[in-house]
Structure 1
Amino acid sequence: MEKSKHCELCDLQSSNLKEGIICSLTNKKGEFNIQCSKIKLGKKLKEKLFEINGEYEDTRYTKKLALMHCALYSLIGVLVIYLAYYISIQLLKNGFFSTLTITILVIGLSIICIGIGSLNFYKRKLDIIVPRKKVLDKLTNIYRIKYSFKSVISTDIMGIKETTNQLHIEGQVIEKKKRY
């Protein structure tokens, strides 16, 4: 694991343009094997715990929505494609051919693609946040920090999402609410 990952959680971190994140005590990059003996875990750690765990829980919430969107849009798309098929059969029986059926078919396929797009969005979010969460959890294990994170996410009828996140760490409970 990169030593800079340890430093990102430390309240003693500093930075400069030449070296990036450095220790404010030594003015050098971190010099340790497994864990830093000078690390001060406090405010920055709690911020990272909220940020990464909040994104992780939000991504898990997005999974349900992505699956529902995919199913709904796929169903609508299949119905539109069937409509195009039905119209083309009726027109061919009467000796006509219309490009309208091709247009309807393309619309049906586009609707299915919208549903698949929501699954792709979820997958991309998951591919980003899961490695970050694994690194954070590995670091908290290295420094023997036990925490729990609870998140309640709801969306109202107007599409406004409200999250209530609770972090339990070192006997302290920190709660943050957000609406967006």
Structure 2
Amino acid sequence: MNKFNHCEICDLHSFNFEDGIICSLTSKRPDFQKKCPDIKLDQNLKDKIIEVNTEFEDSKYVKKLAIGNFVFYSLIGVGVLGICYLLIISLFRLARIHTFTIAVFCIGIGFFGIAIGALNYSRRKRKIISPKKRNLDILTELYNVRYEFDSKISTDIMGIKETKINLRLNGEKIEQTYRY
């Protein structure tokens, strides 16, 4: 694991343009073996737990929506392609070919693109946040920090998400609400 991951959750980290992230106690880059003996875990840890877990829960929420969108738009795509097939058969019997059927076919394929695009977005989002969550969990376990995180995500009719967060960290309870 990268030593700078330890510094991200420590309240004693600092930054300079020459070295990047440094320890404010030693004014040097992190230099320890397995865990930092001088780490101070307070506000940065809380912020990181909330940030990473909120993103992780949001990625699960987006996955559920993406699966629903995939099913919905795939069914519409199949329906439009079915209509296109019936049009082609009807026009073929009349010995005619019309460009309208090509447009209907393209619309049907477009619905499949929308369906797959939502799944790809969900997969990319999950691929980015999963390593962050894994690193945070390893660090909290290493420093014997126990936390319980719960969130409820809802979306209103205008597409604005509201996330209600409940965090219990070493006996302290934190409740927050985010709208984005």
Note whether the superposition's TM-score is higher than 0.5: yes
CA distance in 2, matches of 1:159, 1:17: 40
The superposition leaves residues 103-156 of structure 1 with CA deviations (integer Å, 9 ceiling, x where unpaired) of 110110011110100000000000000000000000000000000100011122
Q: Secondary structure at the match of 1:28?
A: coil
Aligned CA-pair RMSD: 0.8
The superposition leaves residues 68-111 of structure 1 with CA deviations (integer Å, 9 ceiling, x where unpaired) of 00000000001001111111111111111111111110110011
User: Does 2:131 correspond to 1:128?
Assistant: no
The within-5 A match list for 1:10-159 is 10-159=10-159
Deviation at 1:175, TM superposition (A): 1.0
Residue identity in the other structure for 1:29: R
CA distance in 1, matches of 2:24, 2:178: 33
Q: Secondary structure at the match of 1:167?
A: strand
Identity of aligned residues (%): 48
User: Does 2:168 correspond to 1:168?
Assistant: yes
Match of 2:7 in 1: 7
For structure 1, the residue ranges without an aligned partner over 5 or more in a row are: none
Q: Secondary structure at the match of 2:178?
A: strand
Q: Secondary structure at the match of 1:15?
A: strand
Residue identity in the other structure for 2:120: N
Residue identity in the other structure for 2:163: T
Deviation at 1:18, TM superposition (A): 1.0
Q: Secondary structure at the match of 2:150?
A: strand
Residue identity in the other structure for 2:43: K
Say how many residue pairs are matched.
Answer: 180
CA distance in 2, matches of 1:125, 1:11: 28
Q: TM-score w.r.t. structure 2 length? A: 0.98
Greater Cα shift, 69-78 or 92-101? 92-101
Q: TM-score w.r.t. structure 1 length? A: 0.98
CA distance in 2, matches of 1:132, 1:7: 14
Residue identity in the other structure for 1:71: V
Deviation at 1:161, TM superposition (A): 1.6
CA distance in 2, matches of 1:29, 1:175: 34
The superposition leaves residues 31-76 of structure 1 with CA deviations (integer Å, 9 ceiling, x where unpaired) of 1111111000100000000000000000011111000000000000
Deviation at 1:174, TM superposition (A): 0.6
Q: Secondary structure at the match of 1:174?
A: strand
